[in-house]
Chains A and B, each alone.
Chain A
Amino acid sequence: MAKKVEVRIKRQKDNQAEPYWEEFHVDYQPNMNVITLLQEIQRNPVTVQGEKTTPVAWDCSCLEEICGACTMVINGQVQQSCSALVDNLEQPIVLEPMRKFPIVRDLLVDRTRMFEALKKVKAWIPIDGTYDLGAGPKQSQTNQQEMYLYSRCMTCGCCVDACPQYTPDNSFVGPAALGQVFLFNQNPTGKFNKEERLAAIMGDGGIQECGNAQNCVRVCPKEIPLTTGIAKLNGATLSQALKNLLKK
């Protein structure tokens, strides 16, 4: 008989419903990931008790850990389910939705708040226009390499899921958005609007909410040095605050 993989999944019919658990046994295949488990359940939605159930709802798209969609809590650890290989996981494999966002259904959550935070901190470069205005500013290889680390943020939500200061009912923008402030304030053109972005993180829900637990940097799948960026931003907001004071 084929080797089976044991999976326990926390399910919830909709935003208002009570959560419940279901267990499945899925045929093992070498090198399979959690996505394959969920796909196999779609093809045969029957629990370990032999009861027919609905396929499990979850979010996914690229399956290469570059889009950030398929994030969930696997054996207690927040991560992308595409790069979670079954061989590396203890069984039963326990799948739960992310913990800080409203649940849409089963493993699928609504991460709108993270995108709103990017709006709030003005995470963009205000270019003059899309016309042919010639080359951009020169940049050193070192600066490019440092910025590239931060520009790979997928807004997947691992960092905010792990952050003790980010709760479903507060207004903290979270480490991902702070990382983006650091990124844009480093950019040769982005620097021009540095103060605007700093102001955005100096109010309610801003950088002072960070408790320096350092969970964010530990769970980031792209190994973004979030705490380094946040520490440097801390310095920048302090001197900005001082400047503001002197201006008065």
Chain B
Amino acid sequence: MAKPKFLVVGGGLAGLMTVIKLAEEGHHVDVFSVVPVKRSHSVCAQGGINGAVNTKGEGDSPDIHFYDTVKGGDFLAHQAFCKDMCYKAPAVIYLMDRMGVTFNRTPEGLLDFRRFGGTLYNRTAFAGATTGQQLLYALDEQVRRYEAAGLVKKYENLEYLGMVKDEQGQCRGIVTVNLDSLEIQSFRGDAVVLATGGPGLVFGRSTNSMINTGSAASSAYQQGVKYANGEFVQIHPTAIPGYDKLRLMSESARGEGGRIWVPKKKGDERELRQIPEEDRWYFLEEKYPRFGNLVPRDIAAQEIYDVCVNKGMGIGGGHMVCLDLTHIPREELNRKLGGIMEIYEKFVGDDPRDIPMKIFPAVHYSMGGLWVDYEKTPDGLLDPQSPRNHMTNIPGLYAVGEVDYQYHGANRLGANSLLSCLTGGLVCGPAMAEYAAGMNGSAEDSSSRLFEEEEKKWQERFEALKDMKGDENPFKLHQELGEMMIRNCTIVRNNKDLQETVDALDDFTARWKNCDSLDAGKARNQSVLFINHLWNMIELAKVVAKGALMRDECRGSHLKPDFKLEQPKDQESPEYQEYLKTWHEQNDKWLKTTIAEWSEKGPQISYEPVDTSLIEPVPRRYD
């Protein structure tokens, strides 16, 4: 048999870690990316990466990390995946250190760790406030080393359009479009992985990079891959609003002691620095004495929303609260949070070392994504021999990184995403190799007809896109889509607005057909490429909206006040027993994975059980 061929689509942390695992075993890998991989969205991760190394002697352990993660995700995460991730975390951090990541150090020269949300332990390793960038660069360098050795070939201007399936429904390769020339080209691969990141652009403006359209995931979904938990979209509590994007202000700001507050007096017009301590309302610290400003993101975002929107207590009556670091010494801020200090200074113009930052929540991360399979050992870890780990329901097609769905449940803990990308890659690479070794006949033997047909289909599609001469400007249409999605599908959801969104999305499909391509050229025709993305974004928006509409409960990031159970404070009271009974009924009904399958008429929704064999679900508390 010929040597197997591997295709990795996406060059962020998850994709590159998968590449390294394959190349390390001597396999040849082709990498496809819409940007030089060094510019992938992983660079935007700021605060750090979790691993229970217990450097501070607090008694932290992978088991506690595992519990915090599962509880943080409101028990919707798949526990075998989570346990595997948390157990691998310390070794992964050491590995990245060995690759040369410039992690901050303790005085003794060991790795330093800081606090993050949803835990009471110092568990987050960090490189200033640009940890994602530093981790990505380390992998980029290792991959370049394999590239120089001839094992890896990078195509950094080819965009994934779709997969090529054979008669048995196995994935045998992919079709790409050349960003510079619009040329369509197919590639054969025995195992293919999508490591294409999240779909933040479905919401117009978010903390995501402009490349995060979710287009590849959406295309896979339209070709029959199940999309899981699409309605679970993380809203990060702290971002700087902007016209072009909403810039993240890392959770590490609070991990290092940053405090959230608003003036106690509604519409207080004094300059923020002039407002004395006793006139400030530290609403998170007050309501959650144990976790304080470091409650998980779903809760922090919901509380900030409540203070600004429901109570009208935002700064100057607007939709902003203070994120205050001014009590921390400048030198410490520079050393530990320099990267975000710079961002705030450059984009807002104020120095956050002197003036409290003004922030508001923003769409940040998709817990949901392409459905993937796994096999577990009796200990509840992933079976390292199984080719099924991280494989979608299409044989030979894998998904890893933010584009997958299983690690973070209904709400991701901060600093767990860099981790799940890396440990996901450690699992996914070997699984792909295992699959390729055991398959019948290689992709090389598949009929050329399959590839020619798919290429032809996409060539025709792009010709048609270029010829579009309607009245809709695709960029404006996208702006409108984003505004609607932010309005109806983010922090607070209700069924009336969700139903309206589901209906409106069909209009968006109709309006999309009336787009103007704006550009008939071949060289870097960004308009035509964008129109293709926009179609895919609308299809994914339908998954988010429909899933949210059908899920009548509150879980993690999915808050529907009409179905909210108020938790009595006193756990000994009869009211609490009553609450617990209802909670169990609700939980039995809704603790399940949402599965969306594509159809002409819109997403078909069904549900699957969640593996909770290791940690029993309970009502979450952080007070």
A and B interact physically: yes
**Chain A residue contacts of B148, Cβ below 8 A:** 119, 122
**Chain B residue contacts of A130, Cβ below 8 A:** 20-21, 24, 95, 426
Q: Does A197 contact B (CB under 8 A)?
A: no
Is A36 a contact partner of B141 (Cβ separation < 8 A)?
Answer: no
A interface SS class: loop
Q: Which one of A2-10, A140-148, A208-216 is at the B interface?
A: A140-148
Q: Does A218 contact B (CB under 8 A)?
A: no
In the complex, given contacts A125-B100, A151-B101, what are 20 additional A-B residue pairs having Cβ atoms less than 8 angstroms apart? A13-B523, A29-B243, A31-B243, A64-B248, A64-B343, A64-B347, A65-B343, A66-B133, A83-B346, A124-B145, A125-B99, A134-B94, A135-B94, A140-B105, A141-B105, A144-B104, A151-B137, A154-B38, A154-B133, A187-B100
Q: Mark A128-167, 1 if CB is under 8 A from B, else 0.
A: 0110111110111100110110011011000000000000
The CA of A189 and the CA of B142, in the complex, are separated in Å by 14
With A104-B524, A144-B105 already in contact, the answer to whether A43 and B475 are too (CB < 8 A) is yes
Q: Which residue of B lies closest to A133 (CB)?
A: B98
With A35-B244, A43-B475, A130-B95 already in contact, the answer to whether A147 and B102 are too (CB < 8 A) is yes
Is B38 a contact partner of A115 (Cβ separation < 8 A)?
Answer: yes
The CA of A130 and the CA of B339, in the complex, are separated in Å by 28
Is B39 a contact partner of A67 (Cβ separation < 8 A)?
Answer: yes
**Chain A residue contacts of B594, Cβ below 8 A:** none
With A36-B244, A105-B524, A119-B147 already in contact, the answer to whether A61 and B41 are too (CB < 8 A) is yes
User: Which of B110, B147, B210, B521 contacts A13 (CB under 8 A)?
Assistant: B521
The CA of A64 and the CA of B342, in the complex, are separated in Å by 10
**Chain A residue contacts of B35, Cβ below 8 A:** 61, 67, 69
The CA of A109 and the CA of B518, in the complex, are separated in Å by 21
User: Which of A126, A133, A155 contacts B38 (CB under 8 A)?
Assistant: A155
A130 to chain B, nearest CB (A): 6
With A62-B44, A141-B107 already in contact, the answer to whether A151 and B102 are too (CB < 8 A) is yes
Which residues does B use to contact A, with CB under 8 Å?
20-21, 24, 35-36, 38-41, 43-44, 91, 94-95, 97-111, 127-128, 130, 133-134, 137, 141-142, 144-145, 147-148, 180, 209-211, 242-245, 247-248, 335, 339, 342-343, 346-349, 426, 473, 475-476, 479, 518-519, 521-524, 526-527
Is B144 a contact partner of A145 (Cβ separation < 8 A)?
Answer: no
Is B105 a contact partner of A61 (Cβ separation < 8 A)?
Answer: no
**Chain A residue contacts of B111, Cβ below 8 A:** 135
Q: Which residue of B lies closest to A66 (CB)?
A: B43
Q: Does A63 contact B (CB under 8 A)?
A: yes
Q: Does A75 contact B (CB under 8 A)?
A: no
Q: Mark A16-60, 1 if CB is under 8 A from B, else 0.
A: 000000000000010111011001001111000000001101001
Q: Mark A105-124, 1 if CB is under 8 A from B, else 0.
A: 11010010001001100111
B472 to chain A, nearest CB (A): 11
Interface residue tally for chain A (C-beta within 8 Å): 67
**Chain A residue contacts of B127, Cβ below 8 A:** 148, 151
Is A63 a contact partner of B210 (Cβ separation < 8 A)?
Answer: yes
Instruction: Please name the 10 residue pairs, one residue from A and one from B, whose CB atoms are nearest each other, closest first.
Output: A138-B109, A136-B97, A14-B523, A124-B141, A105-B524, A132-B91, A67-B39, A54-B519, A136-B98, A148-B102
**Chain B residue contacts of A184, Cβ below 8 A:** 100
Q: Which residue of B lies closest to A106 (CB)?
A: B524
**Chain A residue contacts of B101, Cβ below 8 A:** 151
Q: Which residue of A lies closest to B246 (CB)?
A: A63
Q: Does A205 contact B (CB under 8 A)?
A: no
Is B248 a contact partner of A57 (Cβ separation < 8 A)?
Answer: no
Q: Does A127 contact B (CB under 8 A)?
A: yes
Is B102 a contact partner of A15 (Cβ separation < 8 A)?
Answer: no
Is A145 a contact partner of B335 (Cβ separation < 8 A)?
Answer: yes
B208 to chain A, nearest CB (A): 9
The CA of A175 and the CA of B366, in the complex, are separated in Å by 38
Q: Which residue of A lies closest to B97 (CB)?
A: A136
| 9 A-B interface contacts by CB (under 8 A) | A14-B522, A42-B475, A61-B39, A104-B523, A136-B94, A139-B105, A144-B105, A148-B127, A154-B38
Q: Does A95 contact B (CB under 8 A)?
A: no
**Chain A residue contacts of B347, Cβ below 8 A:** 31, 33, 64, 83, 85
A246 to chain B, nearest CB (A): 30
* Most chain A Cβ neighbours within 10 Å, of B41, B210, B343: B210
B33 to chain A, nearest CB (A): 11
Q: Which residue of A lies closest to B479 (CB)?
A: A43
**Chain B residue contacts of A32, Cβ below 8 A:** 243
User: Which of A33, A111, A140, A189 contacts B100 (CB under 8 A)?
Assistant: A189
With A69-B35, A119-B147, A152-B133 already in contact, the answer to whether A55 and B102 are too (CB < 8 A) is no
Is B105 a contact partner of A60 (Cβ separation < 8 A)?
Answer: no
**Chain A residue contacts of B523, Cβ below 8 A:** 13-15, 57, 104-105
A152 to chain B, nearest CB (A): 6
The CA of A137 and the CA of B343, in the complex, are separated in Å by 31
With A124-B144, A126-B145 already in contact, the answer to whether A62 and B137 are too (CB < 8 A) is no
